[in-house]
Amino acid sequence: MNTEIKKLPGSVIEITGEIPKEQFEGYRKEAIKNLSENFEADGFRKGKVPENIFLSKVPTIKILEEMAEIALSHHYISLLKEHSIDAIGRPEIIVTKLAENNPLGFKITTSVLPEVVLGDYKSIAQKGSEHANKEVPEITEKEVDDTINNLRKMRAHEKLHEGDEPGAEPNHDHGEIAEETFPPIDDAFAQSFGNFKTVEDLRKKIKDNIALEKKQKAKEKVRIDVMEKILEGATIDLPRVLIDAELDKMLFRLKTDVEQMGFTFEKYLTELKKTEEEIRKEWEADAMKRAKLELILHHISMKENLKPDEKDVEHEVSRLLEQYKDADVHRAKMYVENMLMNEKVFQFLENQGTK
Domain layout of the chain by residue ranges: 2-113
How many helices (H) and strands (E) the chain has is answered by 13, 6
Report, as an integer, the average pLDDT of 320-345: 90
For residue range 258-274, list pLDDT tens digits in order.
998 888 999 999 999 99
Helix axes 121-134, 329-351, angle to 10 degrees: 70
Q: Kindly state the helix (H) or strand (E) to which residue 342 belongs, with its residue range.
A: helix 329-351
Whole-number pLDDT of residue 205: 96
Whole-number pLDDT of residue 240: 95
Report, as an integer, the average pLDDT of 296-316: 94
3-state secondary structure of 97: strand
3-state secondary structure of 286: helix
Report, as an integer, the average pLDDT of 165-181: 78
The Cα-based distances of 248 to 242, 269, 284, 337 in angstroms read: 10, 16, 11, 20
For residue range 42-66, list pLDDT tens digits in order.
767 777 778 888 888 889 999 999 9
Q: How confident is the model at residue 132 (pLDDT cuts 50, 70, 90)?
A: low
Residues in CB range of 43: below 8 A, 6 or more apart:
none
Contact between residue 250 and residue 282 where contact means Cβ atoms under 8 Å apart: no
Q: What are residue 117's DSSP bridge partners?
A: 235
- Residues making up the chain, counted from first to last: 355
CATH of domain 2-113: 3.30.70.1050
